[in-house]
Amino acid sequence: MARQFAAADPMAKICTSEFAPGPDVRTDAELRDFIRHDLATLYHPVGSCAMGGDSRLAASRLTSVVDPELRVRGVTGLRVVDASVMPAVPRGNTNAPVIAIAERAADLIAGRAPLAAADPEQAPALVR
């Protein structure tokens, strides 16, 4: 269907050739083979191991792979500490959120209490 769309006016004036998978890939089997071997994501992959605070009362309806402490449900001693626990792709680069997740995981593993919430109004004024 995408090929038919690109070949129809007015798109045909803009799309003069097919970038991928190319004119030699025609059958469904060839398209499946192309997808299996050549397809890649353009975005930073996130969200494949959803983190959530599912209730113990709703144990039969668990929807997340890891709990709020990044522990894999049903597997003792295993945590997921990467972008896969993010619920969605952040608007910016994934580097800073992953660092924050890793810092939090380090605190959890070491048994350190989370930092207390800070009130911006109580923060010292910046000297200029």
Instruction: Quick: pLDDT tens for 18-30.
Output: 888 888 899 999 9
Q: What is the pLDDT of residues 77-102, one digit of tens each?
A: 999 999 999 877 888 888 999 999 99
Check if 44 is active-site: yes
List, as one string, the DSSP characters of 36-95: HHH---SSPP--SS-B----GGGGGG---SB-TT-BBTT-TT-B--SGGGSSS--SS-SH
pLDDT score for 98:
93
Q: List the catalytic residue out of 25, 44, 62, 64.
A: 44
